[in-house]
Structure 1
Amino acid sequence: MAFDGIVVANLVHELKEQLLGGRIAKIAQPEADELLLTIKTPAGQRRLYLSASASLPLVYLTETNKTSPMTAPNFCMLLRKHIANGRIVEICQPKLERIIRFTIEHLDELGDLCRKDLVVEIMGKHSNIIFCTEEGAIIDSIKHVSAQMSSVREVLPGRPYFIPDTMEKEDPLSADFEVFSRALTAKPVPLAKAIYTSFTGVSPVTAEAVCSIAQVDSGLPASAFSEDVLRHVYNQFDIYFSGVREQKFSPAIYYEGKEPKEFSSLPLPQKGWERVEFDSISQVLETYYALKNTITRIRQKSTDLRHILQTALERNRKKYDLQMRQLKDTENRDKFKVYGELINTYGYNLEEGAKKLDALNYYNNEMVSIPLDSTKTAQENSQRYFEKYNKLKRTYEALSRLIQETREEITYLESIRTSLDIAMSEDDLGEIKEELISSGLMRRKYSKKKVKIKNTPLHFVSSDGYHMYVGKNNFQNDQLTFDFAVGNDWWFHAKQAPGSHVIVKTNGDELPDRTFEEAGRLAAYYSSMRGVEKVEIDYVEKKHVKKPKGGKPGFVVYYTNYSLVIDSDISGIQEIR
């Protein structure tokens, strides 16, 4: 994600406005690699969350409190000793590094005024929170890094603090065209990669954004462009970073449907995503990672269900392949019927012990040679071919039914898998689990406490004010289509693809074209065709949709319908929560 120097610059700007002059009232360490500082400012109390997690390093202002351990860790106790009740006098970012330095003024043991620095480094697995003297000596850090762990820098008490410059990158805020051109042409790599590997604090997302704004191919090396084109790219690069120099930030999250795809402090090319702006970068970070964590957690919790589904799918697909091979073996059944008929017609003058019969096939007027069992009479040979025909015919009929059942089972299992992809809450997973139990794919675990699942379909409103409902699983699809919808409501579904039933309530009106399009987009998005540019959607009035006798949950039939082809972009469609 684009947690780069630009986002940090936005954070520093925001923290300066909110925290400068504030006093540190509380210091807590909820986890081994994170701090929560409560700061009293003239505008009120603020909480600052600092995380040096290797997987998710973060800094933002929050209103959420976290439970701390009964016994404070050593690093937390050290900070309380030195900077409790200290005043934040400076917050800065060296160049455009992913580093925030808090300078805190406090009284030492002798009552003298002195300063300490709390440095937060947001650098992936190398992230750290380091406590230093004003002169730059490390007092302690939330993570100790010895010489055995890093050959670049030790982070231990007593060692000098410095920012390792291993990449020798340029400062994007002060680089002129000569620096820009020299840095890019020196690297025989794609232009976007040359940008983010040459300049401090620039992420791949930002580099791609600059190339997109300049309308150049980011996959070509800088040497492939003329000086005029490179100057044009530099101008766009300089204009883009003027937002950082002038501190004109516009924090936002980019959504694809309901899923957050990216965040930024400066505008990014849309890519078809919906841009939602926020008042502060802290709100962006807290919202974005909360949603990402929810999606990740739900996907982790659905692992067992996915494993059960995948096993069942693989078993049914193997069964289907075997049945199709067996069906192929019955293709010659009609030939044996013809052989039997021809032997009955022409076999009256066969010589005893004949091994074949050459006869005219009166179905196609071609000569055919029929193998015979020389130990049997013509009548017995004819009977043998009729028996073989009848056996293959019975096999064909039985296999045709079995193949249809297996195909329906595969389609059904794929629909449950699509429901898992749509699931956004534990209640969603609970309903899918109930469906797996009712279909015999899972056993119910005995529990004294009966869990009640309160879950409702997704609810949207079209641009023209019509209410649209989307089933999140097969149970909800059936309930929407056959219990909730009435005859003149419209029903939408992705053609020949697992997905949700979409119901549009008409209230007896004739729907506008725009509502049809938006309902079609919902049907495309909440299906296995999500992300495809052109999805064919079937739509029909609900009264024409029928539930076949014995049909599986979510399975319907209809014999007359309309179709439309549309994309699966649902940005801009209002959801009612």
Structure 2
Amino acid sequence: MAAFDALTTAAVADELQEKIAGGRVQEVLQLDERSMGLEVYVHGARHYLLLSIDPQSARAHLIDERLRRGVETPSPLLLLLRKYIRGARLEAVTHPPYERILHLCFTHPEHGVHTLIAEIMGRWSNLILMDSQGVIRDSLKRVGPDVNRVRVILPGEVYRPPPPQDKMTPEQVTRERLETLFQEVDDESPLWKVLVRAIAGLSPQAARELAARAARDAQAIASAADPSRVKEALDALWAPQRTGEWEPHVAYQGERIVAYAPYRLTHLEGAKPVDGISRAITMYYAQGELIDPYAGLRARVAQEIEAARDRLRRQKAALERQRVDPEEVQRLRQAGEWILALSHQIRPGQKELVVDMGEGEPLKISLDPERSAVENAQAYFARYRKAQRAAEEIPRRLEEVERELAYLDQLALDLEMARSQPEIAAVREALAAAGHLPQRPLRSAPPPGPMKFTTPEGVTILVGRNSRQNDELTFRTARPDDLWLHARDVPGAHVIIRCHGQSVPPATLQRAAELAAYYSAARDEPEVIVSVVPRRRVRRVPGGRPGQVTYTGEETIRVRPRP
């Protein structure tokens, strides 16, 4: 649930500017494949700055413990940081408004000005060293044109920031614009989702906090929200960016910290104030189970999935451009027919045929003066047949691309949920089997079987770990009269209740739905809709990938995700 969002970035920038700006960098260390650390000496004390681009835990903040080197072979970026940043003075820490980006500007007595850019953006996070002319010296994660043609991040390239969000900024939000926005959305749309889609820099967590403050319910419906109260709550939430009066908090669920933020978390129970945003982030990530021992391998597969997504998005855009208007298809056929019907009226060298349609404007048909009437008609019929084929073929191909993108979303979730090297390897094998890698990887040890849970009532619940296992669980393991569950409209695990057609205790159904919600892409939502159907009503999608299904006769249950 925690999010290193634009507000957190602003709070961290203010804290770093206050605590370490003006200090001298004494050491630069690479902690692991995805993390760097700076030791900064200022005001007679050493401070330690952690910069991580791990896709599961990307962040930037001060830590209390002394930094330790974690890699044997220094990366190219580390060597450059030691040359241009070690011994330099940290002049300023800034951030672009509404973005999760930090700019750390350094001045070196020998090498002059350089900027270390920390882009804290989930799986797209990166650390980039830029010279005074805006040219990239290197980055922790190089991004070539094969991955992103628009934004190449390679040595020697001019640094280009991420494209701006096509949303309103908080300053552009008015009561009138909110009122119009709320009138245009679906009656059941949650307020927080509407705000995330409309306002730049607003994360889901911040939007839920905003909804709780404005409507006293984090799950309030947008159509019933008071625009004036929402505007007031938004201004209050954003005010610390001007005043610097941040209120860092963490939220507990039992003994576990489930969220942090630079503002009061009124929408979560168990929220407590913390002395500094870095302290809040450190407390959250200090929880041992959040450390990922497979971060490097996971990041590599995540990059391969994203590259496959990028190729499919380009393919989709090309198909969209080739879409044919059905009226254009009929216009071409009609033109050919009229040319044949009136061929006796067409003179050699004529450039246009005008047909009196009786009512309205006459029909004007362009002619090739170098061709005869019959040749012109044949040309139109040829274009008509081509357009007709495209009108039939392109929607089918678009559907295939959409289905493949949905499969990649499922593989991305499988990767996020993977807890062992064999499970991560299974995701990569599935990616290769789908044709998204140049060659099949060597088969690794098989991943463990489905997760198995036994309820207090003695009922067995099975949960698939990945797309291929979902397919086997649903169509080989489960019986037709077992119950099948899945989080609605999002990638997720297939869940089976082994009930053999017998009635299922409500507590068992609730528990299985909680598991389906947790092992889905909606696991961080406060509430998830889960579909429940007998397994016999589930069918594979024709031509689809493993785990892609359709089903009929569903019932739904709303639950809070719980492992």
Length-normalised TM-score, structure 1? 0.48
Larger Rg: 1
Length-normalised TM-score, structure 2? 0.50
